[in-house]
Structures are given as C-alpha cells and as structure tokens.
Amino acid sequence: MATQRIIDFINTRRPNGPCMVLDLDVVRENFHNFEMALPESKIYYAVKANPAPEILRLLASLGSSFDTASVAEVEMALDAGATADRISFGNTIKKERDIARAFELGIRLFAVDCVEEVEKVARAAPGARVFCRVLTDGAGAEWPLSRKFGCVPAMAVDVLRSAQQLGLESYGVSFHVGSQQTDLAAWDRALGDAKQVFDALAKEGITLKMVNMGGGFPTRYLKDVPTAQAYGQAIFQALSKHFGNRLPETIIEPGRGMVGNAGVIKAEVVLVSKKADNDNVRWVYLDIGKFGGLAETMDEAIRYHITTPRDGDVSEPCVLAGPTCDSADVMYEKNPYPLPISLTIGDEVLIEGTGAYTTTYSAVAFNGFEPLRSYVI
C-alpha cells in the first residue's frame, strides 16, 4: 500500500520517470509479524525478492538470516552485516566454484536436490550441512515454481543418504509451496512429505534436524489474503500433526511477504488509444511494462492494484501495456483491467504492492529505457 511517507516522497521529490518507492517501516512491521506468527522458526529473508542494501541492513539489524542464490547475494548479505552462520546458499543449481567461494566466505548450509549436486558440495564444501528440496505441486499459488526445483520424497532419501556417505551433514528437508500461495493447506501436504523423508532416514540411523518451509507468503494485490497470523497457525498445526511433540528446527524464507507491500511504483500514462472507431476496449500504455520491472504480469499471473487520480469516475476494461516496441510487452489483455474513462495522457498512476520482484526483474536498457529506479525511504 502507498503509505503516507511514500505519497509525501513522490509529491515532494517529483521523481521523473517510473520508479519504485519502498517504505522500510513496512518491512520492519512485516518482519515482526512473521516473528510473532511463527516464534519458533528462524527467518531467512529471500534476498532475490529485493536486494536493496537498505533492506538487507535493516533486516540484518533486526536479527534476520538470509537465503541467497548466488555468490553475489552471499556477499550482499555479508556486506549488510549478516554473519556467515546466518546465510544459506539455497539455490539447488550452483557451479562448483561458486560453492567453493561461498564456503571460503564461511557459508555452511547448502540446498541440494540430486546426487550430482551433493557430489559438488562434498568436494567444494567438505563437512557442510545440506538440506534436500522436495517437489511440491504448487497448487493454490499464483506464481507456482513448477518442477524446476526439488525431487520426489523417495529420491530425497537417497540424496541425503549419499550426502552423509560423502562426509556432509544431512541436515534436513526443504520445500517451497509456490509463490503468492493463498491456500493454507499447502504447507500441510508438504510437511507430510518432509516427515516421510525424516522417518525413512531415521530407520537407517540418520537423524535429520531441520525443515525449511520456504516462502510463498503473499502480498495483498486485488484480493484479500490471510494474515501472517493465519499462516502461522495453519503451519504450526500441520507441524504438530505430522511431527507430534518432536518438532524439528524450522526455517521460513519469506521474500514477497517481507517486502511486496512495502513498495509502490509510480508510473505515467503515455498514451490512451483505440484500434478502430468502433473498438470498445481502449489501450492504455504506461511508461513501465514487462521489461521495466512488471515481469510477473507474464501470463497475467500477478494482478496489481492500480490507483489513478481519477478513481471514482466511470471505468471501463482496458488493455494495459508497456512502452517498449515488443509485442510481448502487454500486461493485461485476456482479462482487461478496469480503469477510469477519464484517464488521460500524462496522468500519474500508482501500482501498489510492487516492493518484491520488480527492480531486479527490470531490463538494463531494452529499447533505451533505463532500469527501474528504486528509492528506499
């Protein structure tokens, strides 16, 4: 949501061109809400959602840990003040030399999802802790993470057994229920799978200690979403159901849920037009689109809340598109977006809930448009 601080910043600074303005007070509040919702879980902020140094420094000072996906992200977290024992290398796809570099920097917790990756970690980070990611179906998520990461639970048993045999510490199981997950039952299914892996390895004398419950916590776009507290309750119930009173250590890795609602994009209407006199949908072109940071509108997956200076006037469904000369740069067409008929060239609009997965998704100079500027206040 656009906080008063964000609105005041935009009105007084009048930044030229599209930009994302993010309010750190909202991030601080989100962090506290996660802490209260899941007091027994450690929070590893997923750096990829928004790696702005101000955000990382704030979270490091609040005691957050960090989930990183590359050496550069490890370094960003270290620069922000996190110690290496508070950083995980959570990408299941790593070059062996990057594992070695992270190990040199002190990182001791790595994600794997196959024996081939375990072998790399065993060579480049001897003795480190590994957790194995299991597949989830992503059902209920608006931005599912598909089959790219994870393996079936039966294979996770083999992966963690081989890790132990190669001198690593088989530490636990991870999953990600899909981003913008609004089905609270998704964690229940995944925790059931994790327990199977715990049990199978326990029979072989390997005691796992940790479940990494990933991200997936939502930002409110157009529809209401459950509160952090509701997620906390559902997850705690599922943990108790599957693990009884022998609860493992747990980690959560919020990305979107930590920063999404803290940011707002200010954009401008560049053109409003029709394709024929009798066309009944208008095309509204903004100075930002898929290549300027709104990549999550791909397949119209994420539907942002847009406010305009003419809200309250009669509105009609519009096709919403970006400014580049690429025909893929259309955000909402199959499901047109209602906007005021009076909306006109030069109007400034606010695209809400854009603190996550925007600045880092924007292209460097496609068509000469500069990358999305970001102001963290």
As given in the structure block, the two tokens for residue 23 are 């309010």
Q: Which residues of 86-122 are buried (b: 16+ CB within 10 A; e: fewer)?
A: bbbbbbbebeeebbbbbbeeebbbbbbbbeebbebbb
- Nearest residue (CB) to ligand PLP, 214 versus 248: 214
Under the binding rule (CB under 6 A), the answer on residue 110 touching ligand PLP is: no
State the DSSP string of 167-222.
T-EEEEEE----EEE--TTHHHHHHHHHHHHHHHHHHTT----EEE--------SS
In terms of DSSP bridges, do strands 41-46 and 65-68 run parallel, antiparallel, or are they unpaired? parallel
Using the contact rule CB under 6 A, the part of the chain among 33-41, 196-204, 215-223, 285-293 near ligand PLP is 215-223
Under the binding rule (CB under 6 A), the answer on residue 150 touching ligand PLP is: no
Name the E strands within 90-163: 109-112, 129-133, 141-143
Under the binding rule (CB under 6 A), the answer on residue 131 touching ligand PLP is: no
Smallest distance, ligand PLP to C-beta of residue 68, A: 9
Residues that bind ligand PLP (rule: CB under 6 A) add up to a total of: 16
By Cβ distance, which residue is nearest to ligand PLP? 215
- Nearest residue (CB) to ligand PLP, 215 versus 292: 215
As given in the structure block, the two tokens for residue 149 are 């990461």
Under the binding rule (CB under 6 A), the answer on residue 214 touching ligand PLP is: yes
Chain centre to alpha carbon of residue 247: 26
Using the contact rule CB under 6 A, the part of the chain among 124-132, 230-238, 253-261, 303-311 near ligand PLP is 253-261
Amino acid at 371: P
Determine whether 325 is an active site residue.
yes
Smallest distance, ligand PLP to C-beta of residue 336, A: 27
Smallest distance, ligand PLP to C-beta of residue 320, A: 23
- Nearest residue (CB) to ligand PLP, 120 versus 282: 120
Using the contact rule CB under 6 A, the part of the chain among 26-34, 208-216, 283-291, 361-369 near ligand PLP is 208-216
- Nearest residue (CB) to ligand PLP, 215 versus 289: 215
Q: Kindly tell me which residue out of 23, 169, 253, 347 binds ligand PLP, with binding defined by CB under 6 A.
A: 253
Q: Kindly tell me which residue out of 101, 256, 266, 290 binds ligand PLP, with binding defined by CB under 6 A.
A: 256
Smallest distance, ligand PLP to C-beta of residue 67, A: 5
- Nearest residue (CB) to ligand PLP, 86 versus 176: 176
What distance in Å separates the CA atoms of residue 235 and residue 231, rounded to the nearest whole number?
6
Residue among 56, 54, 79 at smallest CA distance from 67: 56
Under the binding rule (CB under 6 A), the answer on residue 73 touching ligand PLP is: no
Is residue 195 within 8 Å of 241, Cβ to Cβ? no
Residues 160-199 close enough to bind ligand PLP by CB under 6 A: 176, 179
Contacts of 215 (CB under 8 A, 6+ apart): 46, 49, 176, 179, 252, 253, 254, 255, 256, 257
As given in the structure block, the two tokens for residue 63 are 């005691």
Under the binding rule (CB under 6 A), the answer on residue 67 touching ligand PLP is: yes
What distance in Å separates the CA atoms of residue 253 and residue 212, rounded to the nearest whole number?
8
Smallest distance, ligand PLP to C-beta of residue 62, A: 17
- Phi, psi dihedrals of residue 238, rounded to the nearest 5°: -65, -40
**Is residue 321 exposed (0-12), middle (13-18) or buried (19+ Cβ within 10 Å)?**
buried
Under the binding rule (CB under 6 A), the answer on residue 117 touching ligand PLP is: no
- Nearest residue (CB) to ligand PLP, 142 versus 169: 142
| Interaction site with ligand PLP (CB under 6 A) | 46, 48-49, 67, 90, 176, 179, 214-217, 253-257
Active site residues: 325
